[in-house]
Structure 1
């Protein structure tokens, strides 16, 4: 079954539901996985111990492994005493489970302290690949995240084994101090990344200051083929990386979508991005260990980190430390890395330009209004706006109104009253993101991520976006499906409001719901670089699961949130669909 046949089946499934299946998750209900979120002091790299949000006591959290075509329930406990939490399943479409996307200002109330919430996750056939999960509250995802792998029913590429390389960064201050500074008037910046971590460990340097912390070890054997799953779980860092002595990497997957093999000697991995590459290990290695070197890009200073590719015996374990100096000369930031080079492994239903009904322009701008904020088409979206999750407000009809397409068409796609971007089911839209000079003239690079479904990535460039010229670049080939791609900067500064850099996507609107589209740099998200999209009309969005079945989702701490004295009641979307077939 193709990716889009599977997605169509998912959409048709909720249309087939006669009535919601509401079940009490009492002691007889056994979730497929349990994640417990705590706040603890831990030491990372060379930094002093500080407060972090952990999942099952670690950062990154435990690996979750799912199989495409199956439905899972994952229970998330908020064991913190003073902070809310949600969990977002980055890259997976929650089309039929609208309250399981884990976005607290959009689709669900957060999980209160001392409560738990059961997330229903269905993975359509065709979405096997590399994903991750993370908190979507504040700055918690700097540590509260972990790998999520969806296994194939039939693996299209051969490899002997696979390894996860989960990339994080960490900062001098704790997550609460950083968050308070980012929303302060005036801005108190988080500082640059103090370390780059691989699988929770890392040493190297930050702005020239050395850190001699122990490194993560990736064990391999000679003469074999490994699938390396790189996951960009960073808050800020846009990583350039390569492997000493191994200059041939074959990209086979980007953001959960298989691609035709594409050769590269290095990778660039931004926050939210994932790549799988095939690594053919040396048949006769001349040394037992090789360094994996990572460096930050598009920042005022360089943070460097390392890990170890280990051909030596894995037992007894050895402790490895970073080299005194750089091992590799990594390239500078490659603007347009892999643009126009990645093509789907199997043909998709990529709509031609003639099918595009309209183009939505999303203009990004940093402004100082006392606070330093990021505006999209002149409006920010921060955790204090709206005062309740947008989908909840639509159900209750007590706050922000349903977005007006008429107003949106007059404002480059954004309804300024609701601050949401409406879209109609069945339409094909091109989304063009524009990078503009800040009030101060500065420019940043931004990894933009879409919830809800994947888009066809049409590429990027400088100057004025020319749809006809850009379409010709594909020359009969299809672009890859992605969920996170870079809006580059073509200089470090320009005039206030001057456009300098664009990124174009094509989206076929198939999933009714309320979805976020945002920069995945955590600092920028907190400062307002987020947008909300409402796909479908009121009937399509709100009748997925009608009232009264949704009542427990509409109140903070409602009866869908369990605690020590109360079992939750949850709507089973996919169980319902299966029972009605």
Structure 2
């Protein structure tokens, strides 16, 4: 038996497979500096740089479209060898296929829903979707779900660059594996490196037979909902062994396989870190190494060094790692689920480990390096201090936004169930009635459970969020925008702004947990309202959004009605969904998202 909290030192497997995914294999190719296509002034993005180009207004026009075909289906998966789980995969791969494009390309994805008993949809996390707000991929918001045995084609611009991911936004399907990396090649900024190691997806993993069972646990009546789901393992690129002494499965495989990487002494590598998990805060490190953060989400920043990279669910950081070891060395890459209630795990296998081999190393040898990350760092449940982050392209938000809104987040009963509330309203989706399509028809009033915040024609909006819910921190994700993160702390905000002239920008920010039972935490964000549409703003912990921690931001409704031309396929998708639900009842026991 492995004592709780003690890291399992993996044995290595010679048979490392991941369905149709090559992530985490030594054979996985390194990424190029860009994809093929026109090269004006030597680059696909021409003379645009991270320092001189506003990424929100000036994406290049490459004239290139990258085409993908995705099949969403049920598959039995067992990534850590412990238990067979009914997964939801894309193209039979876990993680799903990586989407790649150059900044300014178009991406077209035809999605086939091969599921027989539930809808699906895919969200392209972090992209702005300017001029295509209907392709953001959230059912009940911009579209109806893709009906079983139907297809839907998304087409959108690669309008930002860097590292991101895509995932299902239908209930908690992505907790079953329906996600993959999305790499948009663009200018490198000030940091230089030798090779791009590619995406490194970090995800908590659950041995529960089906994701729907997890949702049932979350949504049980208050009298039965005593404990939220806890994860059972932690994965790097879909891999990690599990100590079979803790498994009741007689067919548990003790050496299911871990991810492996090879490096050369003296070279510097770009690692594209993605927290693609359902709940867990990730603490990423490489034994004995300093890591240099060069981008957060889709925002290049002035580089700074850390011992450990903190990533809440949905967040990404691009980091540089310089291989300072000698020929023949082997060291551990680690991602640890945050301790001190930063993450809910059973304590058996909270540390995902991957092997890094230097040139001439024995690729079957088990590394013996040790982590130097402090217990205090692993127990710190927040992102790095806002003062450390300086975006390379400077933007100063208006000092006096058109609209300011306070939002109080609470966790309370509706009489039978404990749910999350935002200003005393909890969210529930109506799959048959997308808010964007209603707004196009001129509707500005919506049922209370749609949680629509109509900010009219405001051009700048400030949200002051207070966390009064004794349920830890909340990674709050804004669709369609990078938000300015002005301040974060405990108590009542005093009006002070960090880096007022050039604050941090990203699309997921971590609202801290309550410091005590009577004192809130806060985060203050500001949004440039430059993209008419209906944009979700929600906690990215799967169980929290299932429990209603979600609002819709209705942006410039008059412009939606007068200037936004929504393609007819959106209405057809709703007709297809309506036809399917005519004789099938969707099992929507949670918020739906």
Q: TM-score, normalised by structure 2?
A: 0.78
Segments of structure 1 that go 5 or more residues without pairing to the other structure are 14-29, 405-414, 560-581
C-alpha contact (below 8 Å) 2:328/2:360 kept by paired residues? no
Q: Are residue 105 (structure 1) and residue 140 (structure 2) matched? A: yes
- Name the counterpart of 1:423: 455
Residue 387 of structure 1, CA deviation: 5.0
Residue 122 of structure 1, CA deviation: 0.2
What pairs up with 1:449-528 in 2 under 5 angstroms? Answer: 449-467=477-495, 470-471=496-497, 473-474=498-499, 477-491=501-515, 494-495=517-518, 499-528=519-548
Cα distance between partner residues in 2 of 1:541 and 1:513: 10
What pairs up with 1:242-253 in 2 under 5 angstroms? Answer: 242-246=285-289, 248-253=290-295
C-alpha contact (below 8 Å) 2:313/2:540 kept by paired residues? yes
What pairs up with 1:534-553 in 2 under 5 angstroms? Answer: 534-541=554-561, 543-545=563-565, 551-553=571-573
The CA deviation string for residues 54-98 of structure 1, in whole angstroms up to 9 with x for no partner, is 111121101111110111211111111112110000111112112
- Name the counterpart of 1:408: none
CA RMSD of the aligned region, Å?
3.2
Q: Are residue 346 (structure 1) and residue 388 (structure 2) matched? A: no
Cα distance between partner residues in 2 of 1:558 and 1:204: 43
Cα distance between partner residues in 2 of 1:207 and 1:263: 39
- Name the counterpart of 1:376: 422
CA 1:465–1:288 in structure 2 vs 1: closer, same or farther (change >3 Å)?
same
Cα distance between partner residues in 2 of 1:227 and 1:321: 22
Cα distance between partner residues in 2 of 1:83 and 1:293: 33
Cα distance between partner residues in 2 of 1:9 and 1:204: 47
Residue 105 of structure 1, CA deviation: 2.0
Cα distance between partner residues in 2 of 1:295 and 1:175: 20
What pairs up with 1:61-80 in 2 under 5 angstroms? Answer: 61-80=96-115
- Which is worse superposed, 367-376 or 184-193? 184-193
- Name the counterpart of 2:186: 152
Cα distance between partner residues in 2 of 1:319 and 1:63: 29
Residue 291 of structure 1, CA deviation: 3.8
- Name the counterpart of 2:78: 43
Residue 306 of structure 1, CA deviation: 2.6
CA 1:91–1:549 in structure 2 vs 1: closer, same or farther (change >3 Å)?
closer
C-alpha contact (below 8 Å) 1:130/1:274 kept by paired residues? yes
Cα distance between partner residues in 2 of 1:551 and 1:345: 40
The CA deviation string for residues 5-61 of structure 1, in whole angstroms up to 9 with x for no partner, is 553468xx9xxxxxxxxxxxxxxxx97111111111111214310101011112110
CA 1:178–1:322 in structure 2 vs 1: closer, same or farther (change >3 Å)?
farther
- Name the counterpart of 1:182: 218
Residue 326 of structure 1, CA deviation: 7.6
Cα distance between partner residues in 1 of 2:570 and 2:144: 12
What pairs up with 1:59-208 in 2 under 5 angstroms? Answer: 59-124=94-159, 127-142=160-175, 143-152=177-186, 156-163=190-197, 164-173=199-208, 174-186=210-222, 188=225, 191-203=229-241
Residue 152 of structure 1, CA deviation: 0.9
What pairs up with 1:263-282 in 2 under 5 angstroms? Answer: 263-282=305-324
Question: Per the alignment, in what secondary structure is the counterpart of residue 82 of structure 2?
Answer: coil
How many residues matched?
A: 511
Cα distance between partner residues in 2 of 1:448 and 1:207: 37
Question: Per the alignment, in what secondary structure is the counterpart of residue 419 of structure 2?
Answer: strand
C-alpha contact (below 8 Å) 1:195/1:206 kept by paired residues? no
C-alpha contact (below 8 Å) 2:80/2:241 kept by paired residues? yes
Cα distance between partner residues in 1 of 2:352 and 2:127: 30
Residue 289 of structure 1, CA deviation: 2.9
Question: Per the alignment, in what secondary structure is the counterpart of residue 96 of structure 2?
Answer: coil
